[in-house]
């Protein structure tokens, strides 16, 4: 059988312009005999007319669709009985703010699939925006750093950058970084802020995307173990940007110092480890946080450290928290910001924040929808990952019980609910409901 696919408009905020499938990909589905219905949108990066030309039907009501696709969480009033959905639900950690959404999907006997849990048999994620979060996040962090220094009275070539959402394309942003890179190579940045050191916590898709943007500038890599002596030596150039990539073994160590760090043990028994990232903080200009984190794991940066150690003279000015776990691995991340107000100053004495780059505390950039700042490229990439599963999704009979559900195995692993029940792999979420 062939089901009808729906695509919900993104309306969580005015900046969310991404789509799960672009018009070219919708056209391919239509040519396979799959009907596609799409809600109209004034802010989507691809216009309604482009989808109409691809063979889709534009209509407000998606109740005739058996499965509806989106990017961000669906609003509760949108949910109807017996419908299937796939989107980033932000529920798999038991996130309190989305438990009402999960409960309503259960109450309406819906099927919820989450992109974050679409994995292969090695538990590797298959559908993600991660690299685009890194691409946009690095540009946003560099922009923020330049503005913060300007407020402190220091002018740098980074003032030549705009925010990623202000460029018409990723290509245009990369061209701007090339210009800034040439400026650094020829004129340099003020020696008073040198060396300009960017630290990357993590090395996965997000980190690689961020590093790809930084590497457009004239960069040189320093090993974590060498960072302190490198900065103390004074043997650096103000025409280079230095980067340091931190792995788990650099950031954490066993509480029992008689034991050595073991990566597998760290992932399985995080409570046996403590954070040791403080040793690097004084030598960084920016920290770009790209690690996966849950409350079981030690923090990278604590409020206590900032309160006791950070001053206006500190070298470290900006936390680019691309991971964006609120009061998580970077504890001074007090909220997930929107592209309209991307950063704030954390005030350690009062544990409060003020939007912008001005104030007596470090600046935190914590936009949690960074790929939306590069909507065309990130949507094209994302849809390309999703397309191999669309035919199987469209041919699934969601009226069958879970054991008989003929979803592709990658999608079945991502099914959190079905017919009013949590599926076996996600029954642990009951305690959060």
Domain 130-373 fold = Rossmann fold (3.40.50)
Q: Mean pLDDT over all residues of the chain?
A: 96
**Model pLDDT, residue 2:** 60
pLDDT tens readout for residues 134-166: 999 999 999 999 999 999 999 999 999 999 999
pLDDT tens readout for residues 390-420: 999 999 999 999 999 999 999 999 999 999 9
Q: What global pTM score does this model have?
A: 0.88
Spatial distance between the Cα atoms of 407 and 63, rounded to a whole number of angstroms: 21
**Model pLDDT, residue 129:** 87
Cβ(131)–Cβ(211) under 8 Å? no
Joined tokens for residue 332: 């001074």
* Burial status of residue 254 (CB atoms within 10 A of its CB: 0-12, 13-18, 19 or more): middle
Pick from 432, 382, 400: which is nearest to 86 by CA?
382
Pick from 197, 165, 191, 160: which is nearest to 176 by CA?
160
pLDDT tens readout for residues 267-286: 999 999 999 999 999 999 99
Pick from 265, 365, 362: which is nearest to 314 by CA?
362
Spatial distance between the Cα atoms of 70 and 65, rounded to a whole number of angstroms: 13
Spatial distance between the Cα atoms of 211 and 331, rounded to a whole number of angstroms: 23
∠ CA 308-366-75, nearest 5°, is 135
Pick from 310, 289, 301: which is nearest to 359 by CA?
310
**Model pLDDT, residue 145:** 98
Least confident of 49-58, 127-136, 203-212: 127-136
CATH number assigned to the domain covering 4-118+375-432? 3.40.50.720
Q: Would the pLDDT of 1 be above 80? A: no
Joined tokens for residue 395: 């041919």
CA–CA distances in Å: residue 373 to residues 2, 134, 168, 321? 35, 11, 10, 15
Mean pLDDT of 221-230: 97
**Model pLDDT, residue 130:** 73
Joined tokens for residue 147: 């503005």
Radius of gyration of the chain (CA): 23
User: Which of the four pLDDT bands, split at 50, 70 and 90, describes residue 12?
Assistant: confident
Q: Do domains 4-118+375-432 and 130-373 have the same CATH topology?
A: yes
Q: Which residues pair with 190 in a beta bridge?
A: none
pLDDT tens readout for residues 83-106: 999 999 999 989 999 999 999 999
Spatial distance between the Cα atoms of 192 and 354, rounded to a whole number of angstroms: 26
Which is it for the CA torsion 401, 402, 405, 407, positive or negative? Answer: positive
Domain boundaries, the chain: 4-118+375-432, 130-373
Cβ(40)–Cβ(58) under 8 Å? yes
């Amino acid at each position: 059988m062939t089901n009808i696919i729906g695509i919900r408009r993104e309306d969580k905020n005015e900046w969310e312009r991404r789509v799960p499938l672009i018009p070219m990909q919708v056209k391919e589905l239509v040519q396979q005999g799959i009907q596609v219905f799409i809600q109209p949108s004034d802010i989507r990066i691809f216009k309604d007319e482009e989808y109409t030309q691809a063979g889709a039907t534009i209509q407000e009501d998606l109740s005739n669709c058996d499965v509806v696709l989106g990017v961000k969480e669906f609003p509760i009033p949108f949910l109807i009985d017996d419908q299937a959905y796939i989107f980033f639900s932000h529920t798999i950690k038991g996130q309190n703010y989305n438990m009402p959404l999960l409960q309503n999907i259960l109450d309406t006997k819906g099927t919820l699939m989450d992109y974050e849990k679409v994995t292969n048999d090695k538990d590797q994620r298959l559908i993600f925006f991660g690299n685009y979060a890194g691409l946009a996040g690095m540009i946003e962090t560099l922009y923020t750093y330049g503005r913060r220094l300007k407020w402190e009275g220091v002018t740098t070539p980074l003032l030549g950058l705009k925010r990623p959402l202000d460029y018409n394309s990723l290509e245009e942003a990369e061209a701007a970084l090339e210009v800034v890179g040439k400026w650094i190579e020829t004129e340099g940045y003020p020696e008073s802020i040198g060396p300009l050191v960017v630290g990357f916590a993590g090395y996965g898709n997000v980190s690689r995307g961020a590093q790809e943007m930084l590497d457009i500038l004239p960069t040189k890599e320093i090993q974590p173990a060498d960072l302190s002596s490198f900065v103390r030596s004074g043997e650096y150039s103000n025409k280079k940007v230095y980067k340091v990539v931190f792995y788990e073994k650099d950031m954490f160590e066993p509480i029992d110092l008689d034991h050595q760090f073991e990566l597998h043990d760290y992932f399985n028994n995080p409570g046996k480890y403590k954070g040791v990232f403080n040793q690097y903080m004084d030598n960084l200009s920016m920290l770009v946080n790209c690690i996966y984190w849950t409350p079981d794991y030690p923090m990278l940066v604590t409020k206590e450290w900032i309160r006791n150690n950070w001053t206006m003279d500190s070298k470290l000015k900006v936390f680019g928290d691309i991971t964006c776990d609120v009061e998580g691995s970077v504890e001074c991340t007090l909220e997930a910001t929107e592209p309209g107000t991307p950063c704030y100053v954390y005030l350690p004495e009062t544990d409060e924040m003020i939007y912008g780059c001005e104030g007596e505390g470090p600046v935190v950039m914590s936009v949690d929808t960074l790929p939306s700042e590069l909507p065309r490229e990130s949507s094209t990439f994302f849809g390309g990952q999703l397309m191999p599963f669309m035919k199987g999704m469209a041919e699934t009979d969601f009226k069958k019980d879970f054991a008989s559900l003929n979803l592709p195995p990658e999608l079945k692993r991502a099914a959190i609910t079905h017919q009013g029940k949590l599926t076996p792999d996600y029954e642990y979420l009951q305690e959060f409901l």
